[in-house]
Structure 1
Amino acid sequence: MKLSLFPQDTKSLELLAQTAAELMAGVKTLSEILGAPADDYDKLSEELHDRDSNVSRLLFALLTNLRTSFVNPLPREDMFQLSLHLVNTFEHLDAAAELIALNRVKRLSTRASEQLEVIGRMSEMTREAMPRLNSLEDLDEYCIEMIRLAKRAERTHRVWVSELLSDHKGATLARHRDVADQLVAATKTLRQASHHVGQILVKES
């Protein structure tokens, strides 16, 4: 357990957890898009844009807190980097929704739902892990499970792309693959967040 002689400001960890919670909400909205008629795409995509604005506000709040707090549970650069990984993840979710809306992508493969299930689980685990950075307890399993989930997402992506190449051509192929690429990119940035947590464990323990 990490010990501290001084009381620490854990607001930054709360903000990181809130950002991960926004990811979970974003996954829910994106899942709704997959089952929605094309006429609802724009409205649901706009919901993702609004949440992206919330994520940006959380990043600004984190930066303000890091600058003004006296004692932080972790080095400021570590918390800022974790926040960037989460922000980048949401950008990929937002981009996937926008691509579906702009290109009126219909009948997405069930692989999309599989990827969103993985992203949702990774986001949930990250939300639960952020407060534990104050003590650095029980984070090893988080890092290992995140790697396992990311590998699962990579395999799903490879299968999805292979199926697309068999079933689609030209512009339709490109539109579907763009969405697939954004979703797997979201799992990669979440994996980067867990890698950074692992680096913190090694450095701070």
Structure 2
Amino acid sequence: MRLRLTPRDAVIFPLLRAQAALPSVACGLLVTMIGSTVAERSEILERMRAVERDAAQARSAVLDRVVASFVTPYDREDLYRLATALDACVDEIARTGDRVAAARLPRLPEPLVAQVESIQRCSELVDSAGGEFSRMTALRDVCVQLSGLVSHSRRAHERFVADLLAGHSDAGIDPLEMIRLSMLADALVRALERFRDLAQIVETIAVKEA
């Protein structure tokens, strides 16, 4: 273990902890949205955009502290990447909310609901991990779980799109509905992939700190 001869700015950790809670808040609104009526979704989307703004402000608070600190707990570039990745998770969830609202589907197909549940699980893992950012090496199991969830969801996404295309050709599904569903499926898997990006950044810091 590396010996540190200078104090580290511990104020950054509560800021990261607060930021790590925001993907779960955004995803909670996404879950509410898919269970709501089409007419209710615009109001929920506005609340999601407010969380997106909060996430951007939380990122700025972390980066401002990094700039102001003489000694940071981790490399400045790693802290920048970590704060940016947390913000990207919220951004992508909000974009998915935009897709859900734009699709105007009364109900989502079960495979897409399952993808939302995977995003929710990833968000919960990040929220629970936020308190451990001062001990990155303790988060390796969380990183493995995040990567596993994303890999599973990527395969589910590919099956859904293949089934969607087969259903279109075999059963004459409305092409516009097929496009809406495909775009929504793509948005969901992009949101999940942001969590994999976050896991890779945490793993990189953990290796450096080991």
TM-score (norm. length: structure 1): 0.90
The equivalences for 1:163-174 within 5 A come to 163-165=163-165, 166=167, 168-174=173-179
Instruction: Give runs of ≥4 in structure 1 deviating > 3 Å.
Output: 1-7
Asked if the contact 1:20/1:124 (under 8 Å) is kept, the reply is no
The equivalences for 1:121-136 within 5 A come to 121-136=121-136
Residue number in structure 2 paired with 1:141: 141
Report how far residue 79 of structure 1 moved.
1.1
Report how far residue 2 of structure 1 moved.
6.0
Asked if the contact 2:137/2:209 (under 8 Å) is kept, the reply is no
Unaligned runs of 5+ in 1: none
Unaligned runs of 5+ in 2: none
1:169–1:55 distance in 2 versus 1, CA, 3 Å: same
1:15–1:161 distance in 2 versus 1, CA, 3 Å: farther
Question: How many equivalent residue pairs?
Answer: 205
Higher mean displacement: 92-101 or 7-16: 7-16
Letter of the 2:157 counterpart: H
Residue number in structure 2 paired with 1:13: 13
Per-residue Cα deviation, 1:100-125 (whole angstroms, up to 9, x for no partner): 22332332112222112221222222
Choose which of 180, 188, 193 in structure 2 pairs with 1:183: 188
SS in 2 for 1:138: helix
Letter of the 2:83 counterpart: S
Measure the CA separation in 1 of the matches of 2:185 and 2:43.
21
Letter of the 1:79 counterpart: L
Question: Is 1:157 matched up with 2:166?
Answer: no
Residue number in structure 1 paired with 2:98: 98
TM-score (norm. length: structure 2): 0.88
Measure the CA separation in 1 of the matches of 2:178 and 2:13.
41
Higher mean displacement: 167-176 or 187-196: 167-176
1:70–1:149 distance in 2 versus 1, CA, 3 Å: same
Report how far residue 3 of structure 1 moved.
5.2
Identity of aligned residues (%): 26
Question: Is 1:195 matched up with 2:171?
Answer: no
Per-residue Cα deviation, 1:11-58 (whole angstroms, up to 9, x for no partner): 323223322211111111111111111110100111111110101111
Measure the CA separation in 1 of the matches of 2:116 and 2:103.
20
Letter of the 1:110 counterpart: E
Residue number in structure 2 paired with 1:56: 56
The equivalences for 1:16-95 within 5 A come to 16-95=16-95
Letter of the 1:197 counterpart: V
Per-residue Cα deviation, 1:131-165 (whole angstroms, up to 9, x for no partner): 42323332221222221111111122122223322
Asked if the contact 1:34/1:108 (under 8 Å) is kept, the reply is yes
Residue number in structure 1 paired with 2:119: 119
Q: CA RMSD in A?
A: 1.9
Measure the CA separation in 1 of the matches of 2:209 and 2:138.
14
SS in 1 for 2:136: coil
Asked if the contact 2:99/2:187 (under 8 Å) is kept, the reply is no
Asked if the contact 2:56/2:87 (under 8 Å) is kept, the reply is yes
Higher mean displacement: 162-171 or 84-93: 162-171
